[in-house]
Structure 1
Amino acid sequence: MRVLLTGADGQLGRCFQDRLPVGWVIRETDAKTLDITDSLAVFAEVDSFKPDLIVNAAAYTAVDKAESESEIASLVNVDGARNLANAALRVNAKFIHISTDYVFDGNAVTPYQETDVTNPLGIYGKTKLDGELSVLAVNDESIVIRTAWVFSEYGNNFVKTMLRLGVDRACLGVVADQRGCPTYAGDIANAILLLVQNSNVKGGIYHYCGDKDVSWFEFAEAIFKQAKMVGYSGSPEVKGITTKDYPTPAARPKYSILNCQKIKQYSGIEESDWRTALAAICIKLI
């Protein structure tokens, strides 16, 4: 299997490379080596490498900055995704595109299914939704994976931010009225590998996230509890605050729990066991 990976320097990209099966050939690209918003560059890369699989882990993910940089966010999340989907179709390669829970408005009271109505609250979510639509319009055999609250030992994420702040601060206020499912990037990588090797999996949208929902406040508590078990020196008091107490340029969905039954049904993939993953990466980070 020949794999073209975009976003290779991000959390999912790094975890995907760590788990690449023996014998597979990968070409890792990032924003410096491949501008996915340039269709000619994308076509040239794909025509040269001739991948069997393209995994698009690249995205504009600065949720708040997207409110003032909508054109850049759209270029990457919509045009870039479409270029890659077209290139995949051009060489008959499988295409995996990563999306987000932010395509929903968070007003649900039960876990979101793939067929539920989307209604993004901000520019980031809107561009990710438009990216999904553009990818599937190019080729309905493309696979779109929506995920949420991604963390890992790599890059910038909530776990690493909490551990960094917890060393220097005696008290941390963390939002307690937004609920979602933390998801380990390594588990997303494993899910991708299982999906592409299962001939029964059809194109379309799939949800994949953690197996237990929490608030950001509860997630922070779990992080510090686990970190202390492996020698973490910080000992901050964690206080729950409301979304109103922590205003941001972009609105976040207050409820973004994803129903993962479809991916289980088609491939037997279980949700991310994020607590086990958290324990493992705390050992690496402390």
Structure 2
Amino acid sequence: MRVLITGSNGQLGSEIKELVTNYKKVDFIFKDLPELDICNFKALQTFIIDHNINAVINCAAYTAVDKAEEESIIATKVNNEGVLNIVNALAKVNGKLIHISTDYVFDGDHFSPYKELDPVSPIGVYGETKRAGELAVINSDIDSVVIRTSWLYSSYGNNFVKTMLRLGSEKENLGVIFDQVGTPTYARDLAKCCLDILAFSKETNINSKGNLYHFSNEGVASWYDFAISIMELGGKNCKINPIQTKDYPTLAKRPQYSVLNKSKIKIDFKIEIPYWRDSLKDCIEKIKN
């Protein structure tokens, strides 16, 4: 089996790179811009055919939530058209796709964990373009899995954890939003989930079209709770003060509640999911070292 990881230099792709040594029967190929652009269908299709690719884990995405409000054309190109290019290229070789989506497809007006078939209602360009990408996969005939995740962080790239650790060293006080609730997700745990699904599907010869799943770490937190834990585990003395969303205006609106129900992915793929604080501790230890 030959698996292409697109967007391989991002948080998720970088974590997958570290874990692939545990999956001996699979040949992984890692590509990112400028080497391979998912928005260039001809180049993408040629690469997949020439390298005998059987599956793709698509980690490529436009994720700048606020900038997307001003760069909707670029966001649409990557999050929708690029995904459709992958789908069409894999259709030519009867390949499998694992595609990563987001909690931003929901409006955040729910107050119980979102299930996969709950109504979607994106509240910004980022969520709208990611939903369009989901539909490109779900409405296709290829063997595919879409995984929605939330509040992703890693020892790689730029993310909330690394920003808080930096600010914790620079400031004595910091205001962080307490009225947006979700679940932090360690990209390493999501990477393992993607690889386990790939291995599970290969071993059981399961072929699924447009299966939709949710994955985040276990538990619930506000951004305030998240920041408090980062400072504590990171050994920072910065005091975190709770503020409301209205006190920190952003270009794009955020879902106020985006906790995901993970029952389906745990049952179907026999996956165990770590508690968010345990994974956060592992990530911070890795950053320290």
TM range (shorter): over 0.9
Q: Partners in 2 of 1:140 and 1:213 — Cα distance?
A: 34
Deviations 1:23-51 (A, max 9, x none): 42221111211111111111011011111
Equivalent in the alignment of 2:11: 11
1:218 aligns with 2:220: no
Name the aligned partner's letter for residue 182 of structure 1. P
Deviations 1:150-176 (A, max 9, x none): 111111111000001111111110010
| Conserved? CA contact 2:150–2:182, under 8 Å | yes
User: 1:141 deviation in Å?
Assistant: 3.0
User: 1:274 deviation in Å?
Assistant: 2.5
What is the root-mean-square deviation of aligned Cα atoms in Å? Answer: 1.2
Equivalent in the alignment of 1:159: 161
1:202 aligns with 2:208: yes
1:71 aligns with 2:73: yes
* Aligned residues with identical type, % of pairs: 45
Q: Partners in 1 of 2:199 and 2:283 — Cα distance?
A: 27
| Conserved? CA contact 2:55–2:97, under 8 Å | yes
Find the residue that maps to 1:257 and give its secondary structure: coil
Find the residue that maps to 1:138 and give its secondary structure: coil
Change (3 A) 1:51 1:140: closer
| Conserved? CA contact 1:16–1:190, under 8 Å | yes
How many correspondences in the alignment?
Answer: 281
Stretches of structure 1 lacking an aligned partner (at least 5 in a row): 229-233
Name the TM-score, length of structure 2 as normaliser. Answer: 0.94
Of 254, 257, 260 in structure 2, the residue corresponding to residue 258 of structure 1 is 260
User: 1:54 deviation in Å?
Assistant: 0.5
Stretch deviating more after TM superposition (75-84 or 13-22): 13-22
Q: How does 1:87-166 map to 2 (within 5 A)?
A: 87-139=89-141, 141-166=143-168
Stretches of structure 2 lacking an aligned partner (at least 5 in a row): none
| Conserved? CA contact 1:105–1:120, under 8 Å | yes
Of 253, 273, 283 in structure 1, the residue corresponding to residue 285 of structure 2 is 283
Name the aligned partner's letter for residue 13 of structure 1. G
| Conserved? CA contact 1:153–1:285, under 8 Å | yes
Q: Partners in 2 of 1:34 and 1:104 — Cα distance?
A: 31
Deviations 1:246-271 (A, max 9, x none): 00000000000000111111111123
